[in-house]
Amino acid sequence: MVRTGKEQHDERMECLGWRSFLHQRWKILVIGILAAAFLEVGLFNLPTWQTLGARTQTVPSSEMSLTGLERIPGGLKVTNPKTESIDIASKDGQLIRFLRFVNSDAPAGVLDVSVNYQLADFYGHDLTQHHTGTWVGLFPRYSRSEYINAGGICSHLRVLFQAPQNAVIPFSAVQINPRVPYSCNGLRIAVLLTLVLLLAFLGPGSPLWRVRLETRSAFQVSVLAIATLLILAYYGFIWGVSGSVTEYVGLHFGAGFEEWFDYNQYGSLADALVHGRTWLDLPVPRQLAAMKNPYDYAARVPIVEHGGKVFWDHAFYHGRYYCYFGVVPAVLFFVPYQLMTGQMLPSAVSVLICSLVGAVFATLLMVRVAELWFQQASPAAVLAAVLMMGMGSGILYHVFTASFYSVPESCSYMLTLGGLWCWLMSLRQPEDSARPARGGEPAKAGKPVHVSAGWIFAGSALIALDFGSRPQYLFSALLAVPIFWDAVFHDRTLFSRRGLRATISAIIPFALVFLPLMLYNKTRFGSLFSFGANYNLTGFDMVHAKRTFLGTLSVMWYFLFQPMNLNMQFPFVNCTTMPFFSWHPSEPSEGGLFTFLAPFALLVFALPWIFSRRRRSSVEAILKPAGARGTAGTRMMLAGVCLTGAAAVLAVLFLDSYMCGFTERYMNDFGYLIILMTAIALYALTPADEMAAGGELAHRDRLLAGIVCALLAYVFLVQFFAVFTVGRYGSLLTQNPQAYTYVADWFLFMD
């Protein structure tokens, strides 16, 4: 008797649990753990083994040749900030492999200062200094940063410093070829074990690729729950190490911007709402109020130079400051907090809450897409999709630079993913209509899909709130057209007499949200649809600014395909350059979405082939029926979702590029839609039964699984090291030098 695909799947499901999974993957886990142990003990601690028999020489500062420096009791004082350096030579001519700065008994304040240095080598009798070209941070509070890998190629070195006039470099001696102590680094071990787990669960041979998603399986649910918790922990780590909760608070003068930053802008907005105002209670200089064109940046600079406070990135209209960022986050988070505590909520806390809740919604959404439309989606594909959304949607930027800029975008990210999940949850298919495919044949058509009024109301309410948070996310509402197409035109469960309750529930939230928000805009700026962005006090005149079409296309290219700038020096990921034909606003970036943020999203370019006419039968064989039209309707609906999503991405991408220029945080405006389409492509390309059956198709699918796993590992590492990129906003080298040097020490073995 020939068993059907469903029966074979049930047999595989019965055998798969934690015990069975570990039994099948124990070799991968053991090999991975041994490899991680080798890297931790051997490679990353290679300097320890290289210096076991080192002949250490100590050179006090009195024996060094100093330039631009003066010896003082606390260390070396900078007398000439253009030439400060020390010369070090071994007494017996031995090659210098490692150096160690020996800290002096300097005051605590001196030890808390980070100093940049660079090495220069002298070969033999050559008096020319050969620079390494790389500046490295020395953080005296972190002892491991005292060690330098000098390469072991010469016996005479020069150390050049970057420090301001009268700064104190707090060390009293240098050790040549010191014994480097062994270091057991918990964070490094966690990174290595994360890569091992990724290989074990998503590697080509993982049994998670060979079974269908089953939300009633405790094993599968626990795997997805653990993955979500790890993403939450990852967000928490990045948020904590950035120091955003203490960095982005209060008033600060923006050096280089020549204006003031109010990092409590959302707190000020909440305070205004609590006291019945729409404008912010900030002082307005008399000269600013009298200006004919206050949006001219150069004309505002003299006001600040003469002691006036002009606030950066605030809307200024008719002599008052306003917050042009969406008011919804203030109502959801900042107003309740102020009413309960009497204090302002730090913006970073709001960003973290939205990011964490958004991560939970991302998991629920990826599961729902697979459960609702794909009968052969595997838990591995869903797990991969969850990780893709967590790392590749752009939300990590907001977690790291969690200032008021990230409040509306992280809030809309949370609202949009939650709204889309609720919309999909509203589609309730009768059990007897969801007849799965047997033996590769397409599933038959079923009964009309029921639309839940409660779920569709919740989804519409969440997405409608985007209008008052980050309006660009409202383009996600266009997905309602393909999602509910059959319900409207074929099943007649929406916009019909029997679907009247659900129809009203879908529409009413938009009216309830849009009307008060438009009145709020009218009250402030005299227009229902003006949020005040054009009245922004920024580095250019937004009221009169012009853009070129070719320049806008350049910005769009940079958003999507800007190549990364990688090198072999920590942190490996560097900022890119973005030349323009004409001026466009731009901020530091590490690359484009398809090159840096989410290279696995290149799968979206397979969608035209996936939904092509010649693949109709093979695609419908892995889909679930969506109402009266069955799997044919599901296929058309998914194609519509992808087509509509692509149109929404292009629209948001063009608007952001034309109106605002390039900034990395805008990638989140459309990144989540690209990842959603990527997940659909992944589910369609890796059906569980095909992966389990063997043969040529299974070989192709396993190769794809391996590529996806490798790209996820690559993105995890790239995103991790991008946290330490020098020159990005919130650079840890200046914002948290101890965390920077803590990770830079991992690569002491590299010369």
Torsion of CA 385, 389, 392, 394, to 10 degrees: 170
Can you read off the two tokens belonging to residue 137?
Answer: 């941070």
| pLDDT single digits (tens) 311-357 | 989 999 999 999 999 999 999 999 999 999 999 999 999 999 999 99
Given a contact cutoff of 8 angstroms between Cβ atoms, the answer to whether 691 and 622 are in contact is no
As a whole number of angstroms, the distance between CA 683 and CA 690 comes to 12
As a whole number of angstroms, the distance between CA 651 and CA 475 comes to 8
The partner residues of 65 in beta bridges, in order of sequence, read 87
| pLDDT single digits (tens) 480-498 | 999 999 999 888 888 888 8
Given a contact cutoff of 8 angstroms between Cβ atoms, the answer to whether 713 and 642 are in contact is no
The mean per-residue pLDDT over the stretch 269-273 comes to: 96
The mean per-residue pLDDT over the stretch 240-256 comes to: 88
**Which segments of the chain belong to CATH 2.60.120.260?**
57-182
pLDDT at 544 over 90: no
Per residue, the 3-state secondary structure of 454-519, as one string, reads HHHHHHHHHHHHHHHCCHHHHHHHHHHHHHCHHHHHCCCCCCCCCCHHHHHHHHHHHHHHHHHHHH
pLDDT at 643 over 70: yes
| pLDDT single digits (tens) 154-166 | 888 999 998 888 8
Classify burial at 186, counting beta carbons within 10 Å of its beta carbon; exposed 0-12, middle 13-18, buried 19 or more.
exposed
As a whole number of angstroms, the distance between CA 732 and CA 725 comes to 8
pLDDT at 105 over 80: no
CATH T-level assignment (fold) for domain 57-182? Jelly Rolls (2.60.120)
- CA 528, 533, 535, 541 torsion: positive or negative? negative
pLDDT at 443 over 70: no
Identify the CA nearest to 723 among candidates 560, 590, 623.
590
| pLDDT single digits (tens) 124-133 | 777 788 887 7
For the CA atoms of the chain, what is the radius of gyration?
29
Length of the chain: 751
pTM value is: 0.92
pLDDT at 693: 80
pLDDT at 167: 85
SS3 content of the chain, % helix, strand, coil (to 5): 55, 10, 35
